[in-house]
Amino acid sequence: MEESSRPIPEPAAGAADLEVDREEEEDDPESISLHQPLLKRTPTLTTNHLAMVGAKVSHIESLDYEINENDLFKHDWRSRSSVQVLQYVFLKWMLAFLVGLLTGAIASLINLAIENIAGIKMLLVGRLVNERRYINGFIYFTGANFALTMVAATLCVMFAPTAAGPGIPEIKAYLNGVDTPNMFGASTLIVKIIGSIGAVSAGLDLGKEGPLVHIGACLASLLGQGGSDNYRLKWRWLRYLQNDRDRRDLITCGASSGVCAAFRAPVGGVLFALEEVASWWRSALLWRTFFSTAIVVVVLRGFMEYCDSGKCGLFGKGGLILFDVSSVSVTYHINDLLPVALIGIIGGVLGSLYNHLLHKVLRLYSLINEKGRTAKLLLSLGVSLLTSICLYLLPFLAPCTPCDPTLDAACPTVGRSGNFKRFNCPNGYYNDLASLLHATNDDAVRNIFSTGTPTEFRAISLLIFFAIYCILGLFTFGIAVPSGLFLPIILMGSAYGRLLALMMGSHIYIDQGLYAVLGAAALMSGSMRMTVSLCVIFLELTNNLLLLPIMMFVLLIAKTVGDAFNPSIYEIILDLKGLPFLEANPEPWMRNLTVGELAAAKPSVVSLGGIEKVVRVVEVLKSTKHNGFPVVDQGVPSPIGMPTGATELHGLVLRSHLVAVLRKKWFLKERRRTEEWEVREQFMSVDLAQKGPKIQEVVLTEDEMDMYIDLHPFTNTTPYTVVETMSVAKAVVLFRQVALRHLLIVPKYQGAGISPIVGILTRQDLIAHNILGAFPHLAKKEKSESTNS
């Protein structure tokens, strides 16, 4: 054997020694004070891979958006025929089409179910109240809501805890590169659909909008992998999509489709995905998401036309109708400037206050949730009871108002939906608070947005409405049912908007209904801090383009005011769940820290040799939790023009690939480099894409343990690297912009005996919170510094 005749030193051992040397040196306080005058640090940077997923704490992993250029991939790439490329392109568009189609269909189904269930409930209760059988009405109303909540909550608690809540923060994290487990599974999808129907029908103060976004994302994920984890379609074409990048694109399509289905706002959906959800964006993706949302709109329109013929039961002017205020022509007047600005300011203040209080409530709820499933269930049912009691009893406080005969609308309302609910009043009268509270949330929004009815609601009714929805909005969001944030905020916002307009009386020129719309938009902006996408969603929702300049004005003010107090609600939730979300902009103090210093605060890097003993690979995999290992060849056999004895940074090998090789038992008897065809006989690039198996599942004999693996063909030879002098700020920009999972740090020195690798940075190492834990001095410094937006 010519290879074995040459002595090859143990590469890993050498590298480890060097690492130890470095560490000892760096711990010397003298040397630190000389070179890093700004920094003192605790010796280790501890990172935490745990996050709240659903209601449980789970281990989370990062996604591999980087293209893994190893020999197998390169060969696969080169041998890909143009037919295969066409298949791939066709598949991507086909899946975008299917995502739109199915999201649209499911949204239609959910609306149909909600309108019918809630409709029957409301009609019956209305009849009982009209007949003055108040107690029966109360029992029936509360009981029905209780039962519906029970269904939703039980499903959530028992089968899919990840289906609770809106799901948008987790989607945001996924698109940022954080894989939260069980987030996009089949069970989550089914529970989300049924749970959402149950929870919304139960009259809880939550929307179906957030859940629809999650449903779109689930659909996209399932379609992309060809089915659920257990029953998976083995279509050969799907293998082209077996990577995190294409899944990310598809899930972006799903999220936009969901927003589009929720608001029937195709452009708004695309913009929402762009502004709020996605971390990376490409022009090609803009186009594909636009395609998906176009399909959704067509499906929804088809469904509504079908239902117009009366075949959908109580679904008539259902949840899919826009809150149409297009009949109003908007005339601007200088008098309106002040109240409109006021709406924006109040929106910002209230929005940030809502964020703040919701944060507290969610922390409280997480304590309750820790007590187990029963506690979660009881919490949900308790909130349901509270909601039912409030919604049923409060309208009795309101006096009856005589109908205004000059209005066209039927008064009191006949049937289910309508502006003037009779409730407990005699004929010819209506109860204005019942019009708002005794309706589905969608109907309530439609009623409060109603234009041309300046005398319909009394100020005190609006105030009660606002107050009760503030309380319910805070306490409903965190319970164990699928719940969206959009509608509760719209309800609150519209109430204060209309209230303000009512108080201004004849001093204003814009219709009160439009003030309600502006209030809703302002509070959304104050809480969620979006601008362009919200503006477009509201324009599409209300079908009135003339609102545009004033809407922009309000949104900008609300966001500015809100930003002065706290971050957006989604960021707060992300932080609360402990998801390692990587922000687009580095913190200012990150400029004062180099990646070399960061790496020195971590346990030393574990690298592998290009040809490594099986036993060592197994040991390394079992003793560490790293997902990537640098591959370093030492004393390389004199490459062209190089002095002998140099070390070579060959690249980075992933844990999942190592496990795949161990499972296939592709071992060598002797220490030698393999030829390309040898690997290709055994492995396809696709074989490495699977993520499931763990190292603990691999069983090897002792003979096998003594053999060798040639890691070269599996090593990504083109990892992204930075020099150790790079500031953390710039590394964060690189990490985020190029969507990395591992970032290798190379030394700035070049010479004999220097390790070619200083450290590895992962997402967790670059999260501001983690760094500040290891470098408390920076934390102190940061507090005295204002941030630079």
Query: Please, which of residues 254-273 interact with a copy of itself by CB under 8 A?
Result: 266-267, 270-271
Of 35, 356, 363, 371, the one binding a copy of itself by CB under 8 A: 35
Quick one: angle between helices 373-393 and 459-476, nearest 10? 170
Q: What is the DSSP string of 179-241?
A: E-TTSS-HHHHHHHHHHHHHHHHTT-S-BSHHHHHHHHHHHHHHHHHTB-SSSB---GGGGGG
Closest CA to 79 of 677, 514, 759, 537: 677
CB 579 within 8 A of CB 173: yes
- Binding a copy of itself (rule: CB under 8 A), the pick from 6, 59, 363, 748 is 748
C-beta separation of 51 from 60 below 8 A: yes
Kindly tell me which of 473 and 610 has the beta carbon lying closer to a copy of itself: 610
Q: Which residues of 241-269 are buried (b: 16+ CB within 10 A; e: fewer)?
A: bbbbebbbbbbbbbbbbbbbbbbbbbbbb
**Which 268-307 residues touch a copy of itself, going by CB under 8 A?**
270-271, 274-275, 281-284, 286-287, 290-291, 293-294, 297-298, 301
**Segment near a copy of itself (CB under 8 A), from 75-83, 177-185, 310-318, 457-465?**
75-83
Of 239, 373, 730, 777, the one binding a copy of itself (CB under 8 A) is: 730
Is 738 an interacting residue with respect to a copy of itself (CB under 8 A)?
Answer: yes
Residue 742 within binding range of a copy of itself, rule CB under 8 A? no
Q: What residues from 553 to 612 belong to the interface with a copy of itself (CB under 8 A)?
A: 553, 556, 559, 584-585, 588, 591-592, 594
The nearest distance, CB 23 to a copy of itself, in angstroms, is 9
Residues between 636 and 675 that touch a copy of itself (CB under 8 A): 636, 639-643, 645-651
- Of the candidate residues 11, 12, 14, 22, the single one contacting a copy of itself (CB under 8 A): 22
Whole-angstrom distance, CA of residue 319 vs CA of residue 195: 17
Minimum Å gap between C-beta 301 and a copy of itself is 7
Min CB(227)–a copy of itself separation in Å: 26
Please state the closest distance from residue 529 (CB atom) to a copy of itself, in A.
Answer: 9
Q: Tell me: does residue 180 bind a copy of itself (CB under 8 A).
A: no
Closest to 498 (Cα-Cα) out of 522, 524, 462: 462
Site residues for a copy of itself, 312-341, by CB under 8 A, read 326, 332
Nearer to a copy of itself, 144 or 590 (CB): 590
What six digits make up the tokens of 332? 């601007």
User: In angstroms, rounded to a whole number, what is the distance separating the alpha carbons of residues 373 and 111?
Assistant: 29
* 275: DSSP letter: I
In the bound state with a copy of itself, the residue whose beta carbon lies nearer, of 123 and 642, is 642
The DSSP code sequence of 234-273 is --GGGGGG-SHHHHHHHHHHHHHHHHHHHHT-HHHHHHHI
Rounded distance between C-alpha atoms, residue 735 and residue 728, angstroms: 10
Q: Which of 86, 109, 139, 410 binds a copy of itself (CB under 8 A)?
A: 86
Cα→Cα distances 436→394, 421, 439, 463, Å: 11, 9, 6, 12
Please say which residue, 522 or 536, places its beta carbon nearer to a copy of itself. Answer: 536
Contacting a copy of itself within 521-560 (CB under 8 A) = 531-532, 535-536, 539-540, 543, 545-546, 548-549, 552-553, 556, 559
User: Which of 7, 29, 505, 753 is close enough to bind a copy of itself by CB under 8 A?
Assistant: 753
Assess whether the previous peptide bond of 454 is cis (omega < 30° from 0): no
Going by C-alpha positions, the residue among 175, 183, 246 that lies closest to residue 51 is: 183
> 276 near 537, Cβ under 8 Å?
no
Nearer to a copy of itself, 32 or 471 (CB): 32
85 binds a copy of itself (CB under 8 A): yes
Interaction of residue 33 with a copy of itself, rule CB under 8 A: no
Q: Which of residues 767-786 bind a copy of itself (CB under 8 A)?
A: 785-786
Distance from C-alpha of 45 to C-alpha of 750, rounded to nearest angstrom: 27
Which lies closer to a copy of itself via its Cβ, residue 31 or residue 624? 31
Q: How far is CA 375 from CA 194, 365, 382, in A?
A: 21, 10, 10
Among positions 4, 59, 77, 402, the unique one binding a copy of itself when judged by CB under 8 A = 77
Which residues in the 420-479 window bind a copy of itself by CB under 8 A?
A: none
726 binds a copy of itself (CB under 8 A): yes
